[in-house]
Amino acid sequence: MPVSSVEESERFRNRVRAWLEANLPPTLRAHPRRVSEAMVDGAEIPDDVKTWRARFGATGWGVPAWPKRFGGGGLSPDEIGVLNEEMARIDARNPIGGLGVMMFGPTLLEFGNEEQLQQHIPPIARNEIRWCQGFSEPGAGSDLASLRMAAEDCGDHFLVTGQKIWTTGAQFADWCFCLVRTKNSPKKHDGISFLLVDMRSPGVEVRPIRLISGESQFCETFFTEVMVPKANLVGPLNGGWAIAKRLLQHERQAASGGASPLGAPSTLRLSDLARETVGVDSDGRLTDPDLRRRLTEHLMDARAFELTRARGEAERRSNSDPSTISSILKNAGSRVSQLRAELTLEVLGHQGLGWSGEAFAASELASVRTWLLGKSGSIAGGSHEVQNNIIAKRILGLPDPAGSS
Ligand SMILES: Cc1cc2nc3c(=O)[nH]c(=O)nc-3n(C[C@H](O)[C@H](O)[C@H](O)COP(=O)(O)OP(=O)(O)OC[C@H]3O[C@@H](n4cnc5c(N)ncnc54)[C@H](O)[C@@H]3O)c2cc1C
């Protein structure tokens, strides 16, 4: 129901407010971060977050723009604005997230058939099913179309054999959306299909990769003669490249903070932290003029980024397409986050150098890990250089020196 008048908007606001009052567990109102912490792959989910997830998931408001008949909220852009305002007012966090919400769901809504939508969209809207992304291979990262994992046509099913790498959350995932080669063609983009693989199928093996941060965020994933029903093919056979490109746009948009459950870069706490640790002069300014200048520049960049991201998000909502500026946002967002992490460590001084031990607060230890993990922002979802190529060609219309299309 679109909000067509101020009156209707206020009615909707009252409904949302009353619902939140009645349904947000008081423990999460007191400690909102618990919701975001439970979104991390492998995290234990406390009972209050489980309750909140089930209640919120049942409303469809976790994916507010998705159609109601598939478990989404079916809300208009105005209603979504009201919902966001009311949630922000009491710091209620959206407990529905993951790759299904950020990139697979919107792509399936565009390219999937009725059966696929009925099967996969409602569990994503309720956060019941985890998805992982099987795109990259050892020989196919930036040059994704070189992928070799093969799906052999066996009548009513495909037989899938090959390897994926950097598969985020594969060890926790129920399903994987994969790119597979279904034809060897001189034009390598033409022989790629988009296939959905049940991770419990015989022949799927997942090996977590240990990172410098000490965690295993992603995996090597091996597929050995995995039987996949033909019904799991999304879009036309050999027509997966267009679907992959659209999914990558959603991924970049999400990577910039637009749809991420962990939210966009926020610099508010950094300036408070700097005041506390570095100290202020009689005018209330940071005593270190060099740090003051760099911090101010960063805050201005972060603010400009937030505004541009909000514009991109509004554009996406009104077109229901990912914005064409997703490559710019992806690069800018990861730079802002990386600089914030660097400044945080600098401001913390020696306390920003701890890896473990009682001498360091949990937030200090987390800052080091955030700084390390932040490096991956320049690579995940397509490297900085590759995004710059896209910006140059597709957005600025600059000629390609290599002469390719
Ligand atoms: C944290 C993280 C999570 C990830 N999660 C997933 C996932 O869930 N699923 C998945 O499928 N993949 C995932 N990836 C993989 C990611 O998509 C690839 O790492 C990325 O596309 C780069 O590919 P590559 O690692 O093979 O590097 P390469 O393509 O080998 O690139 C190496 C270097 O060469 C540069 N380069 C390459 N081509 C060009 C060019 N044409 N012009 C200029 N420079 C170029 C790159 O910028 C880069 O610096 C993840 C990666 C990270 C870091």
Mean pLDDT of all residues in 305-331: 78
CATH number of 131-238: 2.40.110.10
What span, in angstroms and rounded, lies between the C-alpha atoms of 12 and 84?
12
Q: Measured at the alpha carbon of residue 211, what is the angle toward residues 210 and 213, in degrees to the nearest 5?
A: 130
In the predicted structure, residue 228 carries a pLDDT above the cut 50:
yes
Lowest mean pLDDT among 56-65, 165-174, 324-333: 324-333
Beta bridge partners of 140: 137
Say what the pLDDT of residue 261 is. 31
Mean pLDDT of all residues in 376-387: 91
The count of other CB atoms within 10 Å of the CB of residue 350 is 9
Atom of ligand 1 lying closest to residue 384 CA: 47
Both tokens of residue 94? 């959206």
What span, in angstroms and rounded, lies between the C-alpha atoms of 123 and 130?
9
The pLDDT-based confidence of 336 (bands split at 50, 70, 90) is very high
Spell out which residues line ligand 1, taking CB within 6 angstroms: 132-136, 141-142, 166-168, 217-218, 376, 379-380, 382-383, 385-386, 389
Give 136 Cα–ligand 1 centroid separation in angstroms: 8
Atom of ligand 1 lying closest to residue 389 CA: 42
Q: Report the residue among 383, 388, 391 best suited for mutation to probe ligand 1: largest number of ligand atoms under 8 A from its CB.
A: 383
Query: Who wins on pLDDT, 390 or 109?
Result: 109
Question: Out of 251, 297, 313, 315, which one is annotated catalytic?
Answer: 251
The pLDDT-based confidence of 402 (bands split at 50, 70, 90) is low
Query: Does the domain spanning 6-96 belong to CATH 1.10.940?
Result: no
Beta bridge partners of 207: 220
Q: Strands, E, within 30-147: which ranges? A: 131-134
Short-list 320, 366, 358, 322, CA closest to 341: 366
Say what the pLDDT of residue 317 is. 65
What span, in angstroms and rounded, lies between the C-alpha atoms of 83 and 26?
19
Atom of ligand 1 lying closest to residue 373 CA: 1
What span, in angstroms and rounded, lies between the C-alpha atoms of 352 and 346?
7
Mean pLDDT of all residues in 305-327: 75
Residue pLDDT, tens place only, 193-217: 999 999 999 999 999 998 776 778 8
In the predicted structure, residue 3 carries a pLDDT above the cut 60:
no
8 among known catalytic residues: no
Furthest C-alpha separation in the chain: 79
> What is the residue-averaged pLDDT of the chain?
90
Say what the pLDDT of residue 260 is. 37
Q: Does the global pTM surpass 0.85?
A: yes
Give 196 Cα–ligand 1 centroid separation in angstroms: 22
Beta bridge partners of 197: 176
Say what the pLDDT of residue 4 is. 60
Mean pLDDT of all residues in 274-279: 91
- By the 10 Å C-beta count (0-12 exposed, 13-18 middle, 19+ buried), 150 is classed as middle
What span, in angstroms and rounded, lies between the C-alpha atoms of 80 and 97?
16
Mean pLDDT of all residues in 286-292: 94
CA distances from 1 to 9, 121, 295, 314, 350 (A): 11, 21, 44, 19, 55
Q: Report the residue among 41, 107, 133, 142 best suited for mutation to probe ligand 1: largest number of ligand atoms under 8 A from its CB.
A: 142
What span, in angstroms and rounded, lies between the C-alpha atoms of 24 and 87?
10
Atom of ligand 1 lying closest to residue 143 CA: 29
Lowest mean pLDDT among 66-75, 146-155, 280-289, 319-328: 319-328
CA atoms within 13 A on the CB side of 351: 16
What are the backbone dihedrals phi and psi of residue 157, each rounded to the nearest 5 degrees, phi first? -145, 165
Q: What percent of the chain has pLDDT over 90?
A: 71
Q: Where are the domains of the chain?
A: 6-96, 131-238, 256-395
Lowest mean pLDDT among 20-34, 238-252, 353-367: 353-367
Short-list 216, 225, 209, 129, CA closest to 177: 129
Q: Which CATH architecture has domain 256-395?
A: Up-down Bundle (1.20)
The pLDDT-based confidence of 263 (bands split at 50, 70, 90) is very low
The residue contributing the CA closest to ligand 1 atom 52 is 380
Say what the pLDDT of residue 384 is. 94
First to last CA, the chain: 43
Mean pLDDT of all residues in 167-172: 96
